[in-house]
Amino acid sequence: MEIYRIDEIKKCCDNIRIFRLSPVRGKIDYKAGHFLMLHIIDKDGNSLDKRPYSIASSPTQEYIELAIKMVNGRFTSKLEELEEESLVGVEGPYGSFTYHDQEKCAFIAGGTGVAPFIGILRYIDAERKKGNFVLFYSCRKKEDILYYEELMKLTENSGITVVFFLTREEPREWKGELGRVNSERIRRYVPDALEYDWYICGPAKMTLSMKDMLIQLGVSEDKMRLEGWG
């Protein structure tokens, strides 16, 4: 376990906090898409509690960024008590939900499931990777969308497309999609879906539903990577 300092806590929509961490003692090296174990620690650096979170930053960035929904649970209640300059433990990285320089990737995110994908897209943009990359991002309301402005800016990269979905409201002058991600919309934006590697991250029910939809489209399971919770 390495020790990191909380440099910034940014309050966002839907009780979500963006934490930026910088290394104090040791540093972890990770790939875009990895997750880590975040530890609440005591004054001697001993772990009091821990929980896994996807890394939202790119390996090209000096800090680690996490997007965490404060659900008033055992861990987040303790996390909410911390302030900027507090120390935390960071362990990892973990997982196989990583980007491997593929030229065709599509990502399906629900809610805070966008965290690993913002990290991957930041990396793709920073490293000027060539290819076609499509993010399907579903939220209940526009105000729930994380990283909206940054994602819009990332679409200035000709290889990156972001498709927003709202499932619970129809705002005026909304230019994204309404309703849920479905096979018709997948085919519209990714007509050659079988040629893509697919990443799905979100609540477990949504993740499995999206997997079944892709199978029905003919996508092989070995072309999919899934992360879910709940």
Determine the pLDDT at residue 80.
Answer: 93
Determine the pLDDT at residue 170.
Answer: 87
Domains of the chain (ranges; CATH) run: 2-94 (2.40.30.10), 104-229 (3.40.50.80)
* pLDDT, tens digit (0-9, with 9 covering 90-100), for 174-186: 989 999 999 999 9
CB-hemisphere CA count at 13 Å for 111? 18
Determine the pLDDT at residue 145.
Answer: 94
Residues of the chain with pLDDT under 70: 14
Determine the pLDDT at residue 25.
Answer: 87
CA–CA separation, 197 and 14 (whole Å): 30
Determine the pLDDT at residue 194.
Answer: 97
* pLDDT, tens digit (0-9, with 9 covering 90-100), for 75-93: 999 999 999 999 999 999 9
Choose among 126, 123, 167, 164: nearest CA to 145. 164
Determine the pLDDT at residue 175.
Answer: 87
CA–CA separation, 208 and 221 (whole Å): 12
pTM of the model: 0.96
Choose among 106, 114, 75: nearest CA to 217. 106
List Cα–Cα distances, 185 to 17, 52, 103, 214, 228, in angstroms. Answer: 31, 32, 21, 12, 22
What are the start-end ranges of the E strands in the chain? Answer: 2-11, 16-25, 35-41, 47-54, 64-69, 87-94, 104-110, 132-139, 160-166, 177-178, 197-203, 224-229
Question: Is the distance from CB of 34 to CB of 91 less than 8 angstroms?
Answer: no
CB contact set of 198 (below 8 Å; sequence gap of 6+): 105, 106, 107, 108, 214, 219, 223, 224, 225
Determine the pLDDT at residue 109.
Answer: 98
